[in-house]
Structure 1
């Protein structure tokens, strides 16, 4: 009897040890389709790492940025893995908010060898490297491009060039627009946010010859280029866009386009895979692809550069477990898993690994758009995005810490002009004042 009691106690202690060994990590990510897929594949991660429990916080883009920024800046430690953009990584790394990953790859040589950092597209990897240290790994990378419905174009007797102009797009949209039958000439971001409407609109401004600041950090938002771009955008959306456009960001426009409601859509290249996925798109056989439009001012800055990345906040207490998840979810193994799960290589997270673009299965599935996407990513120049010189880097954003708030504020003014709550002139007067205040308060002006 005593022996049984001893064995029972030993078993209880062993079970307690196992319980204590298990860890829980919390992952914050955006509610884009690729990340929703990542969440759904959690059981596959658990097969490899049964001792790690994963909790998810999945939020819309604007809300995610606000919540994660507040958390990592304060060191609250709510998240062990955070989804962060190409804009945040260098700024947060310099602030000491992120864990450098290079030592972790060195520490775990087996993971480092299997992960193959050299397979990550060099430009994408370099954008996440600060002072020789890698601070995040890319989940997917993107530029922007034009999507169009070939059936609607054929019906209207139109032909989309590989490199359209905004003037051509305006004409196409007017001819396709058929709101009585629930079809709109064009869908563009209208939802306020520095990563939503302000991102798209900045590329439009670039092509009209505009910029946020001149070389002396004098705000340029009341310039003729900005006025022409905003008038063009408002007129185009009012005449040929869907109603309630100020509520439509990437996700909402993806739904409209995939349901055949839009003749055209200019947005992130990552959408090419979603629109080619028969499980979520009704236009798989009619979707066409072209470069992002160029404007009357310049051919520079028409398509952006962006990556969504996984990083480990410095405040985590589960660094090893977080590193295991981060490397699993951005690996070649994971990309193949998505292809197998969806039964479609065109649906895998794009823009991160050279091996994806040399994979015969991917080439076969994504042949209609893969070269356009690669070309857009490779030619997106964050240092030469505007007609005239600027003191900042970035195509669809200004790479300064204050831009997250400034871009969202200006996005609200743009949305106000689009909805008719203010005039274009009033919106740009407000935007100019906000940008000027940032330059002065931030001591950028000398």
Structure 2
């Protein structure tokens, strides 16, 4: 009897030790609620199967909320998360401050040189890489070929905002549940202002002059913002002031928008019959410009980083290598087709005949990514880096405040002049308090 009890105890002890070993490392991931990240969470079960000693814990948040949570957590050293989903705005600044673990010893089989240099450079500071790109994007014009053909409208390969307005007027059919254009109105430095800043650039505008004086009441800002707002007021869907990226993606995928100017990454989602009703009906063109096509489209990457506060750094980096690898891209292709894989990160993807055949938007995506230059995006000289944002910590607050003013214009509670006057005053106050203005 004693022997059997000892054996049972030994077996139980071994089982307990095994379960402890299996659950010994928990990696908490904070990410945005975009479709590609939802797929990453789904496929991550394969990572856990291959790495039974690592347990993944997910926090998936709306874009504005994610940015607020991560900024607060990293600035205070809160340590809530082991993996952060950030981008070209945060990675170099947070890396410079010593808040992120550098990727100093990337495994050879990861093939880091396969990752586009412009994206790697954007996620680096002083030659050190602080984040690996899950996907990268620029902007393009999406339009419904069937609706354009029916209306006798031709989309130029390189449209102007005037072309977009003329086309919107002809394809706008609210009585049929189709709106001429969808654009972001939801306030946020990465929501509506991430789209409006390139429009303003293309009309000759800039956020600040070389003395960090805000330039929000200039003619270029007024012309760019008026163009954007008028399009939404005349041809946009109801409630446009509340629509961000995901809301507009859903509207276009449901066949309710004739045009949409937004992130190139959306093309894959719109090609997936599981999520889109417009598969095979979408045309692609370059993003529009006002007077100048420099700075009229941004470069962005949603990328994965490890904060220095993480207690599971090695396991976190192991997951990041997996989620941003060539093998992960193949895994998505097996799940839902090559057109749906995370785009914009690797040369090998754009040399893959299967991808090029499945993704008619691939060449255009690559062209917009390669021609977006965050170091030269305005007609007049500026003291900052960025196309859709200004690469200073204060811009998160400034951009969101200005975005709220813009949303008020779209909603009809303010005029463009009133909003820009208020935005100029609040931005001047913020820059003065931060010590930029001497």
When normalised by structure 2's length, the TM-score is: 0.97
Alignment of 1:289-300 (within 5 A): 289-296=284-291, 298-300=292-294
Which residue of structure 2 aligns with residue 62 of structure 1? Answer: 64
Contact in 1 for aligned 2:159/2:287 (Cα 8 Å):
yes
Please name the residue that 1:109 is paired with: none
State how 1:99-110 maps to structure 2 within 5 Å: 99-103=101-105, 105=106
Aligned pair partner of 1:224 in 219, 226, 236: 219
Q: CA deviation at 1:85?
A: 1.3
List aligned pairs for 1:36-435, cutoff 5 A: 36-103=38-105, 105=106, 112-296=107-291, 298-342=292-336, 344-366=337-359, 368-435=360-427
SS in structure 2 opposite 1:28? Answer: strand
Runs of 4+ in 1 over 6 A off after TM superposition: none
- State the aligned residue count: 436
Consecutive unaligned residues of structure 1, counting only runs of 5 or more, are: 106-111
Partner of 2:16: 16
Whole-Å separation in 1 of the counterparts to 2:225 and 2:284: 25
- How much has 1:233 moved relative to structure 2? 1.6
What's the secondary structure of 2:30's corresponding residue?
Answer: strand
Return the offset for 1:15.
2.8
- Cα offsets for 1:273-330 (capped at 9, x unmatched): 111112211111110000000112x211111110000011111111121112111111
- Output the CA distance in 2 between the equivalents of 1:172 and 1:143: 22
Q: CA RMSD in A?
A: 1.2
SS at match of 2:209: coil
User: Secondary structure of the equivalent of 1:145?
Assistant: strand
- Secondary structure class of the residue paired with 1:221: coil
Aligned with 2:143: secondary structure?
Answer: strand
Q: In 2, distance between residues paired with 1:84 and 1:17?
A: 36
Which runs of 5 or more structure 2 residues have no equivalent in the other structure? none
What whole-Å deviation, never above 9, does each CA across 1:21-43 have from its counterpart, x for those lacking one?
Answer: 22221111000000010111122
- Residue 3 of structure 1 and its aligned partner are, at CA, apart by 3.3
Measured after TM superposition, the shift of residue 72 of structure 1 is: 1.6
Q: Which moved more, 1:220-229 or 1:431-440?
A: 431-440
Shift of 1:148: 0.4
TM-score by length of 1: 0.96
